[in-house]
Amino acid sequence: MALSGVEIFKLLPKTNCKKCGSPTCLAFAMKLAQRQASIDACPDVSEEAKKILGEASAPPIRPITFGAGEKAVKMGEETVLFRHDKKFVNPSAFAVEIKDTLSEDEIAKICQQVIDSEIDRVGQKLRIDAIMLSNVSGDAGKLEAAAKVIAAKAAVVPVIISTTNPQAAEAAVKLFADKRPILYGANTSNADAMAAIAKANKAVLGVAANGLDELSGLTEKIKGLGVADMVLDSGARKAKEIIAHNTLIRRAAIKKGDKTVGYPVINFMQRQDSLLEGLLASVGVAKYASIIVMSSIEKWKNLALFTLRQNIYTDPQVPMQVEQKIYHIGEPKPESPLFITTNFSLTYFIVSGEIENSKVASRLAVMDCEGLSVLTAWAAGKFTASKIAQFIQESGVEKDVANKELILPGYVAILSGALEEKLPGWKITVGPREANTIPAFLKTR
């Protein structure tokens, strides 16, 4: 359970020595209570207090990583119920199911689809994050054979092995033992054996329960068996149950400090109807799923879900920004066009993407407007003729361009006259209002 600032204060040395960077021990205690500081900043705190505070300040949802290398998936660490309270930390991971009844070629094909699913959106790599191999055949040999194909064809992709049969689990999981897989399928009848396999292979254990009461009893038992890292399946499959169970789990962990459910949640959304599957997955993204398992990969579905996930898991208090500078798109020559825009990430990536599509090498001057889009920055007085002129003059771009022409976003055409006055010797051209007409605009020049 989280401690209050006053409770934390009682555990501190109370010397007000300021070594932690706070003016008093009480101020530091308040920061700790709000999770804005680490106890390590106080060099004089006792080991006992450190232990108590360490436990109390641990995130209510246990941080767990599965997979290895740069595609490893981070889960948990969440501290709030609502995104506007602070932010959601680790985005839901999407996994696609591969059944062990499929042929080697079919498995290899899905592995390739997973690898090819990666896209770049506003500077972030988005992808189908994991593969879940299910033992639907019930045959240990088939599970192992399918696992070997995945290990060979998708070595970098994090893997979930789904089976309730400990013998089948052991053979398949050990193929991924150095890649921190998830072994899903520990239930009331096999928990001891599955826990032992997870421990031996350094796997995260997926706990499969029938309802929330059974779930918390199972996690307590498994923790007692020495497994610290678990993902939770309450048995919810319908949208209504998923929303209810995921919310109750998150609420119990965060508000009540219930450690038995303080783990990431895995939801199974497989449906024959892709649209329904996509809708269910979107419910999981919005409502606390750490892993969302789907039956298929389709580009339209990926795009919709990736965008939703990205929107929900960005920090609402921090606008996404790119660095202020003159960006080169292609290999611009002195006579190449020079555009200007603001440093809101989405604006930058859309404008630069459209210039790239046009295949006309250009310069793009990106001005720091605190992450605001063009019109908002203009309305806020951050994208004005004087400020643009100052930025262009200080950027030094003048020495690189032959014709001193600056292309303004069409939405701020109103600035062109004033800008011509502030930038003597420059020609100001009003460019398109919408970025998607940039290629046509460049073609007409």
Which stretches of the chain bind ligand SF4, using CB under 6 A? Answer: 12-13, 15-20, 22, 25, 28, 42, 44
For ligand SF4, which is the closer residue by CB, 52 or 304?
A: 52
| Closer of 16 and 187 to ligand SF4 (Cβ) | 16
Closest approach of Cβ 194 to ligand SF4, in Å? Answer: 44
Nearer to ligand SF4, 32 or 186 (CB): 32
Answer whether 108's CB lies under 8 Å from 99's CB.
no
- Using DSSP's 3-state secondary structure scheme, residue 151 falls into helix
* Pairing label, strands 124-126, 119-121: antiparallel
Helix, strand, or coil (residue 291): strand
Least distance between ligand SF4 and beta carbon 31 (Å): 9
Element (H, E) at 159: strand 159-162
Helix 239-255 and helix 212-224, axial crossing angle in degrees, nearest 10: 50
Nearer to ligand SF4, 7 or 420 (CB): 7
Residue 69, CA distances (Å) to 66, 128, 193, 229, 232 in order: 10, 16, 28, 18, 24
Closer to ligand SF4 by CB, 28 or 344: give it.
Answer: 28
| C-beta of 27 vs 375, nearer to ligand SF4 | 27
Buried b (16+ CB within 10 A) or exposed e, 165-183: bbebbbbbbbbbeebbbbb
CB of 9 to ligand SF4, least distance (A): 9
For residue 53, give both structure tokens. Answer: 């505070």
Cβ proximity to ligand SF4, 36 vs 189, nearer residue: 36
What's the token pair of residue 312? Answer: 């929900």
> Shortest distance, CB of residue 14 to ligand SF4, whole angstroms?
7
State how far Cα 323 lies from the chain centre: 21
- What separation in angstroms does the CA of 51 have from each of 27, 39, 302? 20, 10, 43
Least Å from the CB of residue 47 to ligand SF4 = 14
Taking the alpha carbons of 300, 304, 305, 310 in that order, is the dihedral positive or negative? positive
Give the Cβ contact number of residue 213 at 10 Å: 10
Q: How far is the CB of 23 from ligand SF4 (least distance, A)?
A: 8
- Tell me whether residue 25 or residue 203 sits nearer to ligand SF4 (CB atom): 25
**Strand partners of residue 407:** 339, 429
Closer to ligand SF4 by CB, 44 or 116: give it. Answer: 44
Helix ranges, 12-138 (H): 25-33, 47-57, 104-116
Tell me the C-alpha distance between 347 and 368, whole Å. Answer: 12
C-alpha distances out from residue 34 to 8, 52, 164, 253, 311, Å: 11, 16, 41, 17, 25
Q: CB of 56: closest distance to ligand SF4 in angstroms?
A: 16
Please state the closest distance from residue 5 (CB atom) to ligand SF4, in A: 12
What is the C-alpha to C-alpha distance for residues 427 and 411, in angstroms, rounded to an integer? 18
Q: Quick one: tokens of 362?
A: 């250009």
Compare residues 38 and 311 and give the one whose CB is closer to ligand SF4.
38
In the complex, what is the shortest distance from the CB of residue 57 to ligand SF4, in angstroms, rounded to a whole number?
Answer: 14
Instruction: Specify the residue, 26 or 115, whose C-beta has the smaller distance to ligand SF4.
Output: 26
